[in-house]
Chain A
Amino acid sequence: MRRAVFGAAPIGLVALAVLLLVGPGLAAEVDEEEVRRIAAGLRCPVCQNLSVADSPSEMAKQMRQLIRERLAAGVRPEEVVAYFTEKYGEWILLAPKPEGFNLLVWTLPFAGLLGGLVGVLLVVRRWSRRPAPAAEAVDPAYRERIKAELDRLDGS
């Protein structure tokens, strides 16, 4: 049964249907890409793990509007971000600022990769120098079969 929304719908439910609507665009043209870029870096406070850009929540919408207004008023993007960190703390940044202790999270992955690479290279070098262990340690028939298969793979 379909009917118009203003019919006899249960009041409690429809009351939830929020009335507030954001007014039409502002006077100055704002680069929407810039708004989105800033919003994508901020964590939506009422959501769990969405950015202000992605969240469909009311609060995120208000924050996007605020970003838009600030940019229209000529505030620089860094200052807009700074405003939010001042109010909510570092928590609101979806990527921790690469400074101080936070550098750890930014550099460790790459340091790990680099260190690991060096490690792998060292192991590989040791292995390639190490004289082949007594070949008979491996079942000769098995080895033969592998070799045959490999040749087939390479050759086909």
Chain B
Amino acid sequence: MIPEIGFAAITVALALACYGTGAGALGAARHRPALVASAQHAAVGIFVLLAVAMLLLVYAFLTFDFSVRYVASNTNRGTPFYYRITALWGALEGSLVLWTWMLAGYTLLVVAFYRWRQREAYPWVLAVLLGIMAFFLLVMTVPASPFQRLDPIPVDGRGLNPLLEDTGMITHPIFLYLGFTGFTVPFAFAMAGLIRGRLDEAWITVTRRWTVLAWYFLSMGLLIGGWWSYHVLGWGGYWAWDPVENAAFMPWLTATAFLHSVMIQERRRMLKVWNLLLIILTFSLTLFGTFLTRSGIIASVHSFTQGTIGAFFLAFIALVLLFSLSLLAWRADRLRGQGELDSLISRESVFHLNNFFHVGVTFTVLLGTVFPLLSEAVRGVKVSVGEPFFNAVSIPIFLALIFLMGVGPMIAWRRASWAGLKRNFLWPVAIGAAGALVFFLLGVRHALALLTLGLVLFVAATMVHDFWRGTRARMRAGRGPVGAMADLALRQNRRYGGFVVHQGVLLVALGITGSQVFSVRTETSLRRGESIEVGRYQVRFEGLEAEEKSNHFLVTGVFTVANDRHVMGRMSPGKKFYPQEQQPIAHVAYRSGWREDFYLVLGDFSRDGQLATVLAMVNPLVSWIWLGGVVITLGTALLVLPGRRRDA
């Protein structure tokens, strides 16, 4: 019975979404408040119905209702309690429910915030949001119903994909989806503006916080995904340029470009078309990500399911792109920006470059991701485009972006004077160069690493320098140093919140550089009692242990580890054998430190426990990447604080 109720809830929600889209649009076009109000009720109804559907699905998971196909293919009787809940988004069907429910939640927030404040745009925004929800609900009813029955009812389920049985799986999708769905709101506002032909800056100022928050969630989703990969997949890496990683990365890139370029539009009323384009692209790319994951057209670690769903998504992407771009083309006449650039050496032009590079990387990633298809279509030859390509092409662009990150926030608007440039950049450039030199003298010979270090120091120095000057100015006015700093940060929270986010990005950049360039790894077989040295670590193999878990069998190797100073204790990397999987799943063991992580993966072993292969890695600075995530969180918090200086 329960699955039928769930399915009915989704079907009714679909009907409501279709009605709401029409009612909202008609109400907006004909100025009929009653119609708009009914669309509003539809939105509330969808939210409630989806919440019910979600709870029913969770209930089915908790009670092991294997008559539901989704439950049977994503749990079995051994699945631990928490993972039975997270199994909700363990595969496509449930993820869609969660995704749409989030979208409905965002829609309610829009209703709550903008019903009165944005009376003109609001009905259109509502109609667009409901239309997008209608698509997702359609997918949930036709090709990917989470409540589809299974007949005959199996005795036990297939079990969750063991890779997903991890804490990273609890948070990674939530953040990612919050980010993806978050961009729907600015997109809807942009569309409302285009439809109405009112193309002032209103939609940008209204949606600034949405964009920042969606960007933040997406950033965290990416970072947590990296962390998950690092501690689950057992290869010591966090990013593989997998097509689906790329698919989540591309909207992040365009969103980052958008966050920066809207500042130009807010201040200088330039780049109107461009900003609309960026938000259209960002939204379409979030759809594209789901399309790539689920269509199975490109092989990837994330391709869990396949089916007709890909066709639905492609059709919707086509619809969104053609509709929104046609609107844009139609309205382009009204979108002449007050283009006016006084000098090439100015903040405007640095921001232009910033945007340009972000979009350049996006294009590169997109090209690399679809190139295998292109090659097959044109030449009939399958090729691969992977890490070596993406690294080679994107690293120079990223370095340029880091450089701009130092210049952009400091250089004057309109026209920078020589004196100003000298005042702002002399010290930071000196510090960056000196830092690179020091590392060179310390024995770092890797050119790219030196360049990155120098650039990171330069950027950090510009920010410290700027913040110090601001603080000093306030101290002269008689404030204490701490009070002056707090006052400065809070008064100009957008500026300094941005700085903090930038510092977080720098930490991530350092972490990536350190771990990519200076990682050391060894793989050897050890007899019991034998030891090896890796970097400054000594690892001794003590033996094997085995343990039966609720849904898998865990074999761990016991190793005692010491570094050059002291004994660090036991580390127990293992392998998990799941009955439903052919290959065992790695269970890595690692110790994190500021300087480096020491990372062990158990390879093959002999059954008598006398011999084991172990992969030992020293990964410098990896923890700085995660620390960067924390700093980005702090910066975002400062950024979205209601500023004392009112937003423009």
Contacts and interface: CB of A to CB of B under 8 A. Distances in A.
B352 A2 contact: no
Contact of B356 (A6, A19, A116, A130): A116
Contacts of B374: 104
A105 B392 contact: no
Contacts of A36: 521
A34 to B, nearest CB: 14
B567 interface: no
Interface residues on B, range: 35 or more
Interface residues of A, number: 74
Contacts of B603: 56, 61
Nearest to A131: B340
Contact of B240 (A6, A13, A54, A142): A54
B267 interface: yes
A87 interface: no
A73 interface: no
B42 interface: no
Nearest to B241: A49
B110 to A, nearest CB: 26
A26 interface: no
A28 interface: no
Interface string B365-395: 0011001001100110111111111001100
Nearest to B246: A49
B613 A1 contact: no
Contacts of B584: 16-17
B544 interface: yes
Contacts of A109: 360, 363-364, 367, 393
Contacts, number: 204
B546 A2 contact: yes
B389 A6 contact: no
A56 B229 CA distance: 13
Interface string A74-109: 000000000000000111111110001110111011
A21 B586 CA distance: 17
Contacts of A126: 339
Contact of A14 (B235, B301, B344, B553): B553
A2 B339 contact: no
Contacts of A51: 386-387
Given A54-B236, A94-B388, A112-B363, A1 B548 contact: yes
Given A95-B386, A112-B360, A133 B338 contact: yes
Nearest to A43: B384
A94 B389 contact: yes
A140 B229 CA distance: 53
Contacts of A24: 525
B367 A120 contact: no
A117 B344 CA distance: 13
A91 B382 contact: yes
B592 interface: no
Given A130-B340, A154-B420, A6 B363 contact: no
Contacts of A120: 352-353, 356
Nearest to B381: A90
A27 interface: no
A62 B306 CA distance: 31
B349 interface: yes
B166 interface: no
B198 interface: no
Contacts of B342: 128
The 10 closest A-B pairs by CB, nearest first: A94-B386, A95-B388, A109-B364, A127-B339, A95-B389, A5-B546, A13-B553, A127-B341, A49-B242, A48-B301
Interface of A: 1-7, 9-10, 12-14, 16-22, 24, 36, 40-41, 43, 47-51, 54-58, 61, 89-96, 100-102, 104-106, 108-110, 112-113, 116-117, 120, 123-124, 126-128, 130, 132-133, 137-138, 142, 145-146, 150, 153-154, 156
